[in-house]
Homo-oligomer: A and B are copies of this chain.
């Protein structure tokens, strides 16, 4: 059966598998101090044109968000995010579990606006009861957002400027960063690294066997970060098992090429949907396609292809989502288009 459920349902780039086969019987160094992790770190630093980049390999996205956010915030601070943000909605309260509130801003197709952010923070400090309220301590955004939309380099810079004004670190969740980089080369790794205090490069959804790469960009790794990771249960004894994926993916631009494939497949699907008269819930240039389906048609389709539920729109319609990936073959897209 065809599947467009999610990009983390794929294996790994074949080049990674090849590398794993080659080095399987070597003895590695633990906790990310191995040569493959170090090589990956170096390549990431170069790709981001960021000499100060300090890179850590973790297993999952929620985990990475929770460890980084908890490390950046003072105990009495919260993290500002769009109300549609992954940290606000879909992490089972992991941020609150660390003791911090998610302070919600309006979402414009998944994005926040610099002026909303500035107004929010100003209002906080102007409030007579400010010290009985949670202090906005940092800002979280996703690139691409949960709805597949993208911040331009200009928008990033504007948001970052507000963050700097109020001394709030900006943190970017790049769970699907490969697709963002592929879709808008002008907002590349260097622009991202320059305009935030930390970000993570998604591996789970972008072709790694598993794992994510957390990058601190400004010589600003939180003190005793290894112990903090361990305390959150997130330290990988076999850290190199993630490092290898990134070492391979940051060779010959494999990471971005994976994103290009995903985007190309999604574009074709999007065009076909338009031609067939489907309403799209939101349009973007990356690898998530959101379609409004009449409920009976949706049920019929679900017998032939896997997709994911997004939200109930009204009594008779549902928004569903198709996700393409580095591994999607154009013939799968064609098969899907025929079914629609």
Residues of A within 8 A of B (CB): 3, 5-6, 8-12, 14, 17, 20-21, 23-30, 59-67, 70-71, 74-76, 78, 89-94, 96-97, 99-102, 123, 126-129, 131-135, 204-205, 209-210, 223-224, 226-228, 230-238, 241, 308-312, 327
Interface centre among A59, A64, A209 (most CB of B within 10 A): A59
CB distance from A143 to the nearest CB of B (A): 19
Would you call B236 and A60 a contact (CB within 8 A)?
yes
8 A-B contact pairs sorted by A residue (CB < 8 Å): A6-B237, A17-B21, A92-B132, A92-B228, A101-B102, A131-B227, A204-B237, A233-B233
Residues of B within 8 A of A89 (CB): 133
With A60-B235, A92-B131, A101-B93 in contact, is A209–B241 under 8 Å at CB? yes
Would you call B12 and A27 a contact (CB within 8 A)?
no
Would you call B231 and A92 a contact (CB within 8 A)?
yes
Residues of B within 8 A of A59 (CB): 59-60, 236
CB distance from A37 to the nearest CB of B (A): 13
| The 5 residue pairs across chains A and B that have the minimum distance between CB atoms | A128-B309, A63-B233, A11-B24, A92-B230, A8-B237
Would you call A224 and B76 a contact (CB within 8 A)?
yes
Residues of B within 8 A of A24 (CB): 11-12, 14, 17
Residues of B within 8 A of A25 (CB): 11, 327
Q: How far is the CA of A230 from the CA of B93 in the complex (A)?
A: 8
